[in-house]
Structure 1
Amino acid sequence: MLMRNYNRQMGGFALTIMAWILCCISMRLPQWQIWHYEDPMTFKPTVAFVGIWRACVLHNGNNSSNIRICHQYNYHDSFVPLYIRINQHLLLVSSLLGLFGKITTIIALWTMFMGRVWRNSICNPFSLSGILNINASSFIYFAVLLNYISTIRKWGVAFPPSFNMPSHPDTQKMGSAMALAIISVVLFLFSGTIFLSSNLAIGKTPRSKI
């Protein structure tokens, strides 16, 4: 029983690492929204990516290659709309929760490897890892949901003139960063469930068998 739980917790730890990496990658990518509009300067169809921390514009260069120009912003910039500002905080908290969950899991696995066994599932440190991972999953989910709502309702962004981007595109859709964030949600949820369920199994194990 203990060896099986140990294997499950190692699997949960692997899921936690993958979920945290995908969360951090999706947070840095600009492809949360893909905008299509006509550039007012060149009157050419233009594609732009609007992310949580930056916006990028694709310009047609020589030899049919695309030149991407990115502009950074943060939650202190006054032009950042409320939904992006909320997503910035949600994803920052999610990455911190995932990091703490990973550290807690490492400590718990090391302590378990050293021979300590918890007979009470409530006192098991894997419970904390499970709770942190499930909370991280919830925060990322809310960020994904808010970005989805802003996309289908075509909420705009009043970018400064230096960005050379309109406040509203002609059309917009969700980008690949959303897919990574959704995968991160699922992996965090699975890992948290594994930790909590394995703790319940440990708590139900008779003391004479430990």
Structure 2
Amino acid sequence: MLYIANTAHWQFFALVLGFLSWIFTLATVGLDDWRVWFVSNTTIVNSGVAWVGIWRTCFYSHVLAEVEYCQNLSITEPFLPTEIKLAQVLMMLAVMTGLAGNMIAAYGMRMAYFSVENRSRIKLVFLLAGTAYLLTGFCSLLPLAWNLNSVLSNRTIDFPPEYHLPAAPVMQNVGNAIGVGMFASVLMLLSGLVFLCYRYAWQTLESPKDPLDSLHGPWTQTSLGSSSVQLPKGESKGRDNPSFLIEERS
């Protein structure tokens, strides 16, 4: 009988990648440097560099704050471009689906390595985990690619006066958050594909020929060969031993 655990080693590796990808995706959501703006007026923006994320904008200013001055970006703000609003929604959705994918994949690995019963559900569980990972990868990849295109196209954002940022920077670069998010999305997609490519060893579900192999366990393989006792000629099974009969007569 095949060992189920031996058929799921790649899925275990994909679970590790999926968990790391989810951590990177969570970090991408919290980073502020999706876009790096270079401004010419350094009176308020002392360093001449501002970071535009999907949740807030920040820059160093000794006039407005002691070290760093930040303003939150709400999805209800009319000046926000569509790609930032979409990123706020899809990145949070990616965090939730990625967490669900990790939980489902961990449950599937527990079934593969430790469970004795209901092992035929492993393929279904891995299918759900792979689907959740793919959904997570696409949910994060779409806003990241859109914001990357906006940076490369040097698109502007019409910030209101209280943000103290110009509508158009002198130059803008791609921030570290987009690079981290892209890397996490690719890993997440690879993890999902590995889970979807799992092939269950159906021969492990076949009825065992040996009576002691009925548990279908993944750890042991017990076989009991049928043995027969050679009886003297003329004797058959079920008769008493002649020696006992002699003792009874005496």
Return the TM-score normalized by structure 1: 0.85
Q: Which has the larger radius of gyration?
A: 2
Greater displacement, 129-138 / 106-115 = 106-115
Pairing 1:97-108 to 2, within 5 Å after superposition: 97-108=97-108
Distance 1:77 1:5 in 2: 51
Distance 1:57 1:95 in 2: 27
**Deviation at 1:117?**
5.3
Pairing 1:60-71 to 2, within 5 Å after superposition: 67-71=67-71
Instruction: Give the structure 2 partner of residue 151 of structure 1.
Output: 151
Which amino acid in structure 2 is aligned with residue 67 of structure 1?
A: V
Instruction: Give the structure 1 partner of residue 129 of structure 2.
Output: 129
Deviations 1:17-67 (A, max 9, x none): 111110010111011110001126459661011111111113479xxxx93
Q: 1:40 to 1:125 in 2, by over 3 A?
A: same
**Deviation at 1:12?**
1.4
Instruction: Give the structure 2 partner of residue 74 of structure 1.
Output: 74
Aligned to 1:71, the other structure's residue is in SS state strand
Structure 2 unaligned spans of 5+: 209-215, 217-250
Which amino acid in structure 2 is aligned with residue 130 of structure 1?
A: G
Distance 2:51 2:58 in 1: 5
Which amino acid in structure 1 is aligned with residue 58 of structure 2?
A: C
- Larger proportion of strand: 1
Higher relative contact order at CA 8 Å, sep ≥6: structure 1 or structure 2? 1
Distance 1:59 1:115 in 2: 62
**Deviation at 1:207?**
3.7
Distance 1:73 1:34 in 2: 16
Instruction: Give the structure 2 partner of residue 50 of structure 1.
Output: 52
Greater displacement, 155-164 / 175-184 = 155-164
Instruction: Give the structure 1 partner of residue 37 of structure 2.
Output: 35
Deviations 1:97-116 (A, max 9, x none): 10111121222223332224
Distance 2:205 2:130 in 1: 23
Structure 1 unaligned spans of 5+: none
**Deviation at 1:175?**
0.8
Distance 2:44 2:14 in 1: 52
Instruction: Give the structure 1 partner of residue 13 of structure 2.
Output: 11
Q: 1:120 to 1:110 in 2, by over 3 A?
A: closer
Instruction: Give the structure 2 partner of residue 202 of structure 1.
Output: 200
Return the TM-score normalized by structure 2: 0.72
Deviations 1:151-174 (A, max 9, x none): 122221222222211111010010
Aligned to 2:37, the other structure's residue is in SS state strand
Distance 2:56 2:43 in 1: 22
Aligned to 1:168, the other structure's residue is in SS state coil
Distance 2:203 2:174 in 1: 47
- Cα pair 2:111 2:119 within 8 Å, conserved: no
Q: Percent identity?
A: 22
CA RMSD of aligned residues (A): 2.5
Deviations 1:130-149 (A, max 9, x none): 01101111121111210111
Q: 1:44 to 1:104 in 2, by over 3 A?
A: closer
Greater displacement, 123-132 / 169-178 = 123-132
